Amino acid sequence: MNAQEIEHKVKNLLSQMTLEEKVGQMTQVDFSVIGDPKEQNAEDQINPAKLEDAVLKHHVGSILNAPLNQQVGSIFHPSFTSANNAQSVEIWRKLTRTVQDAAARSRLKIPVIYGIDAIHGATYTENSVLFPQAINMAATFNAELAFKEGEITAREVRVSGLQWNFSTVMDIGRQPLWPRLWETFGEDVHLATVMGTSYIKGHQGDNFSAVDKAPTCLKHYVGYSYPLNGKDRTPAWIGERTLREYFLPTFEAGIKAGSPTVMVNSAEVDGIPGHANHHYLTTILRGELGFKGFTVSDWADIKRLYTRDKMAASEKEAVKIAVMAGIDMSMVPFDFSFYDLLIDLVKSGEVPMSRIDEAVSRILTVKYQAGLFEPKPLLPIEGNFATAEAIETNRQAARESIILAKNDHNILPLKKDTNILVTGPTANLLNVMNGGWTITWQGDAEDLYPQEKLTVLEAIQEKSTGKVTYIGGDAFDAPIDVQQVVEEAKNHDVILLSLGEKPYTETAGNIESLNLDQAQVELANAAIATGKPVILLTLGGRPRIITSIAERASGVILGFLPGMEGGEAIADILYGDYNPNGKLPVSYPRNTNGITPYDYKPMESFEGNTYNPLYAFGHGLSYTTFATSGLKAEKEKIRMDENINVTVNVKNTGALTGKETVLLYINDVAASVTRPNKQLKAFKKVELNPGQTESVSFTLTPHDLSFIGVDLKRIVEPGDFKVMVGNEIVGFTVTE
Ligand code: BGC
């Protein structure tokens, strides 16, 4: 169906809808509203009476989330029980079929759109391909892998009968304390833009009505990721220039890439909650960015304008504020309060029908675009779900996402017959490699993880021909016998010290300090004191402070959250079966408050101020070496509206084949708004054999040279620019 046909159909349908049917379309409820808690994979988790009430009586337009199975609690966060958990692909097909059958019995037969958080693969479908989390995907600097992740995720979501993915996170990760840092593609605008848009293109294809494609959702618009105090759902202080320069561009790119839905910031920016911000949701999103799709609230956030923010004097006023600010669909999620209140508001004239028609038209348009009105049979499970090829892509993504940060005297790779002592709380768990949104919301239900996947310890045991000894509790809450570690070290050549964090997301992951747990520090100190070489491996969503350990360790591997194939990927790197090439997508702080990003301003390196992270943005070693040389700008002068080409040679100067990401930064030498010391504007990943050289070329556009000026408009200013690659710098001048 082309755009005109869709427009026509939407108008026609809208003209037949009652107010109740329209407001129903704007209502999204949680699975619990139509279901009862039952055993996992029970056939009868949907309660037919509740389903009728939601879909036929309240006309709900959308359902989200997975069933809640009683037996699953949250091991690590007693106050946060897991809100839901994964079902088999067969059960999902039945559940979603039942929902669509109910919608097909409604007066106008408008399909329900079923949404899910499939943020690193189909989170809530058992045995789906679960990729490295976004922070790791960013570390690959490989846009093709993000594209493939999008393709595979969309296919597995659709094979599960699900239709809409609350992914991808386009927030940029510039606040390391924030417990969702790992859901971002890191601190850099360009990197996040490239990775996020590649994912969207893979996920949606040319046409997301295809049976293996699905609409994505850009979240969390906008400024959510930069809470001043580091805690989830707390205020950000972002001025409009900074917002436009750092936080909006990724969303703008996601809209251009065709994402038809946007989820709203659960917190507030500059005193205005995301859900009340007309300026962001309407003036900028619609007026400037030209977004044509629909916006969905985040979880319960319209109510919270009243219950939390005290911005509204009643829940009804909260609904009015949010809808008039530009929210099209409310993730209510547990009741029909939004539906009842909005109907009242329209009847009393407080919300005009035109605003309802606008929101509903947008929602129906996306439903038509997604092919929901003409449903095709689901793809067969066989050949489309957890295929060997998809698992291999995942393994490759995991390998490319792991960062070798230190390798003194080439301690790595290890020989296979090395006697290795493995210790630490993250060595023998799958959940620490996957993080939140894995099987359950918090990702911490280890007993639900696929047992055939390998932990780091198990992958080492498979590969090693030497002695492998493991001393560690099986989880964070099982104490490790430090004395035994010290004793056993004598019988081993090397210690693998596997530290890090439990899985978490959202407010359950809030912390007060980036310091590692004291128990882990004590284990590290004892291991190092044995005098045996220590290889530090970190797993977890945030860069916890490891400085004093890393300085004394012989090798450091930063694993972050490499996903379900992470154990194997790490063992591949430890033993040299894979040559590491991941690079840091964030600056790794040296100290808890050392959270300056790589694109710092001049005053951050003036009069004693320094950018002094433990590991800089872009850092990552290989088992071979690379050298860049011959950096050249094609011209010395260009006009403001011209492109400029830049070339550089990169050579593999070591003895092994390997991949290198060439990073190109620019600096605007003098400008009317202070400019970062450098900003990434392009990158390319190349694979080179020993001795091989490749010439890599880049084109810089006027957009790459632009910034948000004094009057909040994007401009290019004439003057000198520097281009930096490796240790080389070339200059060029921009004239009017
Ligand atoms: C999160 C969103 C998520 C939504 C639906 C919220 O709590 O902030 O990222 O998409 O829940 O599960």
Kindly give, in sequence order, each residue whose CB lies less than 8 Å from that of residue 244, ignoring residues fewer than 6 positions away. 708, 712, 714
Q: Which two tokens stand for residue 298?
A: 């985040």
Residue 296 has what pLDDT? 99
Q: Which two tokens stand for residue 8?
A: 């026509």
Does residue 354 have a pLDDT over 50?
yes
Can you count the helices (H) and strands (E) in the chain? 22, 26
Residues 261 and 80: their CA atoms lie apart, in Å, by 28
**Residues 662, 648 contacting (CB under 8 angstroms):** yes
Residue 473 has what pLDDT? 84
Q: How confident is the model at residue 77 (pLDDT cuts 50, 70, 90)?
A: very low
Residues 311 and 319: their CA atoms lie apart, in Å, by 11
Residues 82 and 80: their CA atoms lie apart, in Å, by 6
Q: Is 506 in the pocket of ligand 1 (CB under 6 A)?
A: yes
Q: Which two tokens stand for residue 328?
A: 């099209």
Q: Is 299 in the pocket of ligand 1 (CB under 6 A)?
A: yes
Q: Which two tokens stand for residue 518?
A: 């004291």
Question: Ligand 1 centre and the CA of 442: distance in Å?
Answer: 12
Q: Which atom of ligand 1 is nearest to the CA of 263?
A: 10
Q: Is 298 in the pocket of ligand 1 (CB under 6 A)?
A: yes
pTM above 0.85, yes or no: yes
Q: DSSP assignment of 16-33, as one string? A: H--HHHHHHHTEEEEGGG
DSSP code at position 141? T
Place of tokens 């390196």: 605
DSSP code at position 434? H
Q: Is 117 in the pocket of ligand 1 (CB under 6 A)?
A: yes
Q: How confident is the model at residue 83 (pLDDT cuts 50, 70, 90)?
A: low
Provide the residue count of the chain.
736
Q: Is 30 in the pocket of ligand 1 (CB under 6 A)?
A: no
Q: How confident is the model at residue 427 (pLDDT cuts 50, 70, 90)?
A: very high
Residues 27 and 349: their CA atoms lie apart, in Å, by 20
* Atom 2, ligand 1: residue with shortest CA distance: 298
Catalytic residue ranges: 298
- Mean pLDDT value of segment 427-450: 96
Question: Ligand 1 centre and the CA of 216: distance in Å?
Answer: 14
3-state secondary structure 606-640: CCCCCCCCCECCCCCECCCCEEEEEEEECCCEEEC
Q: Which atom of ligand 1 is nearest to the CA of 220?
A: 9
* Atom 11, ligand 1: residue with shortest CA distance: 299
Phi-psi region of 370 (alpha: psi -120 to 50; beta: other; left: phi over 0): alpha
Question: Ligand 1 centre and the CA of 527: distance in Å?
Answer: 40
Residues 440 and 32: their CA atoms lie apart, in Å, by 15
Kindly provide the residue ranges of all beta strands, DSSP E only, lying in 14-75, ordered along the sequence: 27-30, 62-64
- Mean pLDDT value of segment 487-506: 98
Residues 600 and 589: their CA atoms lie apart, in Å, by 14
Burial status of residue 240 (CB atoms within 10 A of its CB: 0-12, 13-18, 19 or more): middle
Domains, the chain, ordered by start: 3-369 (3.20.20.300), 388-605 (3.40.50.1700), 626-735 (2.60.40.10)
Q: How confident is the model at residue 477 (pLDDT cuts 50, 70, 90)?
A: confident
Q: How confident is the model at residue 553 (pLDDT cuts 50, 70, 90)?
A: very high
Kindly provide the residue ranges of all beta strands, DSSP E only, lying in 381-477, ordered along the sequence: 403-407, 420-423, 468-471
* Atom 10, ligand 1: residue with shortest CA distance: 166
Residue 69 has what pLDDT? 84
Q: Which two tokens stand for residue 703?
A: 């957009």
Q: pLDDT higher for 412 or 80?
A: 412
Residue 70 has what pLDDT? 62
Question: Ligand 1 centre and the CA of 298: distance in Å?
Answer: 6
Q: Is 266 in the pocket of ligand 1 (CB under 6 A)?
A: yes
Q: How confident is the model at residue 84 (pLDDT cuts 50, 70, 90)?
A: confident
Q: DSSP assignment of 166-199, as one string? A: ---B------TTSTTGGGSS-S-HHHHHHHHHHH
Q: In Å, how far are 115, 295, 323, 584, 666 from 302, measured between CA atoms?
A: 18, 13, 9, 37, 42
φ, ψ for residue 96, nearest 5 deg: -70, -30
